[in-house]
């Protein structure tokens, strides 16, 4: 074995045959298959309502719009995330305000959220980092006592649960946004899903398709535009992939969990490696394996380690470096510099994501472990 990719999607015969059925059907865009996919997601997650969209980014954008968030409002979020989270806040004209994170879960810290609340705060936008649910009880308590909303960026967290309640399910009063990008817990190629109350989902449905209504379902040429909408709809081609993925979602989840736990087992007691340790009361989606390097125990930087690992044939990724506030555009736009989020910045400098995908072979897995330990030995103090 010479190399292991960072990720391989689990696409099988069922996805291929379902997509070819759609291609032969004559109906390619949003249609009855998308409705079936939404109904199956609703059932799987125990959601009040849900709508499939072109991406999670679109879902975050429309969730904020549907809540009436805009100019003059503040949205508290994490900087240890994909820029998409923060872009959605800027799309509606609101100001992102960053709270620092918990170094163990790498999720937003409720106590720091509390310290960032102002009269302008309208939404808390937590990200379930790596599929590990945030401290939802504490965030819900803060939101309800201040009369503000929660929009969860659950891009990583399809299938995860918090204290026995499914993320996206009826147990929460928030709006939840999932991503179906290729390496996510389940994929539709590209795509996203928003879960929430029926009223908000209806509003998002309207906004997601040009803001038009069809008074007579059979006469689609007789439509009225009642809002400024967007073109963010899902398609039946995506739904075909999604339905096949949903039917094996639990199996994919269990396989990811197995690799995640095996990494943790094999890296135990290695002082150069800080393992991700899920809290006992959550069930993570095990979306990725976000290892951290203990840079005090190594004579190299995380970037040197990552480059050497790639040279050894191991595909790696980093979640996320730099954190959003230190990207060139956001530094200028938001004026938040180095030192403002000490834990986020420290974690961002030391995180290294290893390959993890359901159909990893034993040989691939042990190849990665072997190369990581080889580099630790090369650089340990
Ligand atoms: C935390 C987070 N939020 C949002 C997104 C955006 O998802 P999408 O690509 O479906 O728009 C991503 C994408 O990877 C993400 O990691």
CA 240 to centroid of ligand 1, rounded, Å: 21
| Under-70 pLDDT residues of the chain | none
Structure confidence at residue 262 (pLDDT): 98
Decide whether any atom of ligand 1 lies within 6 Å of the 107 Cβ: no
Q: Does residue 73 sit within a domain? A: yes
158 & 228 share domain: yes
51 & 99 share domain: yes
Q: For the whole model, what pTM was predicted?
A: 0.98
- Ligand 1 atom closest to 81 (CA): 1
Last residue of a domain, one of 247, 266, 284: 247
CA 324 to centroid of ligand 1, rounded, Å: 13
Structure confidence at residue 307 (pLDDT): 98
Containing H/E element for 276?
A: none
Decide whether any atom of ligand 1 lies within 6 Å of the 81 Cβ: yes
Per residue in 3-23, pLDDT (tens digit) is 999 999 999 999 999 999 999
CA 31 to centroid of ligand 1, rounded, Å: 24
Q: Does residue 1 sit within a domain? A: no
| Crossing angle of helices 56-66 and 83-91, rounded to 10° | 30
- Ligand 1 atom closest to 153 (CA): 3
- Select from 94, 59, 40 the least CA-distant residue to 208: 59
Structure confidence at residue 217 (pLDDT): 82
Q: Does residue 135 sit within a domain? A: yes
CA 216 to centroid of ligand 1, rounded, Å: 35
Structure confidence at residue 66 (pLDDT): 98
Q: Does residue 6 sit within a domain? A: no
For residue 367, the domain's CATH number is 3.90.1150.10
299 & 217 share domain: no
CA angle, residues 41, 45, 49, in degrees to nearest 5: 65
CA 180 to centroid of ligand 1, rounded, Å: 9
**Segment 328-335 long-range contacts (CB within 8 Å, at least 24 positions apart):** 330/83, 330/86, 333/90, 334/95, 334/96
238 & 309 share domain: no
60 & 86 share domain: yes
Pocket test for ligand 1, best of 58, 179, 344 (most atoms within 8 A of CB): 179
Last residue of a domain, one of 220, 247, 274: 247
- Ligand 1 atom closest to 191 (CA): 10
Decide whether any atom of ligand 1 lies within 6 Å of the 53 Cβ: no
**Which of 184, 248, 261, 299 is labelled catalytic?**
184
Structure confidence at residue 220 (pLDDT): 86
Tokens 């995908």 correspond to: 357
Query: How is residue 84 written in tokens?
Result: 């998409």
Distance between CA 113 and CA 124 in Å, rounded?
8
Q: Does residue 129 sit within a domain? A: yes
The reply to whether omega before 154 is within 30° of 0 (cis) is no
Decide whether any atom of ligand 1 lies within 6 Å of the 56 Cβ: yes
Q: Does residue 2 sit within a domain? A: no
Q: How many domains does the chain have?
A: 2
219 & 329 share domain: no
Last residue of a domain, one of 247, 275, 310: 247
For residue 65, the domain's CATH number is 3.40.640.10
169 & 271 share domain: no
Q: Does residue 7 sit within a domain? A: no
266 & 240 share domain: no
Strand partners, 75: 96, 123
17 & 92 share domain: yes
267 & 344 share domain: yes
227 & 284 share domain: no
Decide whether any atom of ligand 1 lies within 6 Å of the 148 Cβ: no
Decide whether any atom of ligand 1 lies within 6 Å of the 63 Cβ: no
- Ligand 1 atom closest to 184 (CA): 14
- Ligand 1 atom closest to 179 (CA): 10
Query: Is 122 known to be catalytic?
Result: no
Domain range for 374 = 249-379
Structure confidence at residue 281 (pLDDT): 98
Tokens 């197995």 correspond to: 258
Q: Does residue 228 sit within a domain? A: yes
298 & 235 share domain: no
């Amino acid at each position: 074995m010479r190399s292991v990719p960072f990720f391989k999607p689990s696409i099988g015969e069922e996805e291929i045959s379902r997509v070819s059925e759609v291609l032969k059907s004559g109906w390619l865009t949003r249609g009855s298959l998308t409705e079936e996919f939404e109904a199956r997601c609703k059932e799987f997650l125990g959601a009040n309502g849900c709508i499939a969209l072109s991406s999670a980014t679109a879902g975050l954008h429309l969730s904020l719009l549907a809540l009436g968030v805009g100019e003059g409002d503040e949205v508290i979020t994490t900087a240890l995330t994909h820029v998409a989270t923060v872009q959605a806040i800027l799309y509606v004209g609101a100001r992102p305000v960053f709270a620092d994170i918990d170094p163990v879960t790498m999720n937003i810290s409720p106590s720091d959220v509390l310290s960032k609340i102002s009269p302008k705060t309208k939404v808390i936008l937590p990200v379930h980092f790596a599929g590990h649910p945030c401290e939802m009880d504490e965030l819900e308590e803060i939101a309800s006592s201040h009369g503000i909303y929660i929009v969860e960026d659950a891009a990583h967290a399809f299938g995860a649960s918090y204290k026995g309640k499914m993320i996206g399910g009826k147990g929460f009063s928030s709006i939840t946004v999932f991503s179906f990008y290729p390496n996510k817990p389940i994929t539709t190629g590209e795509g996203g899903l928003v879960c929430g109350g029926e009223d908000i989902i209806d509003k998002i449905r309207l906004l997601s398709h040009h803001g038009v209504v069809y008074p007579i379902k059979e006469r689609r040429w007789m439509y009225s535009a009642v809002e400024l909408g967007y073109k963010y709809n899902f398609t039946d081609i995506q739904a075909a992939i999604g339905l096949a993925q949903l039917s094996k979602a639990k199996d994919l989840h269990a396989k990811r969990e197995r690799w995640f736990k095996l990494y943790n087992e094999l890296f135990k007691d290695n002082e150069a490696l800080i393992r991700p340790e899920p809290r006992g009361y959550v069930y993570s989606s095990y979306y990725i394996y976000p290892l951290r390097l203990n840079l005090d125990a190594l004579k190299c930087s995380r970037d040197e380690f990552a480059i050497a690992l790639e040279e050894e044939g191991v595909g790696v990724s980093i979640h996320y470096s730099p954190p959003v506030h230190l990207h060139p555009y956001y530094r200028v736009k938001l004026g938040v510099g180095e030192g403002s989020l000490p834990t986020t910045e420290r974690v961002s400098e030391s995180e290294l994501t290893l390959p993890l995908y359901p159909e990893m072979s034993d040989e691939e897995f042990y190849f990665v472990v072997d190369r990581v330990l080889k580099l630790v030995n090369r650089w340990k103090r």
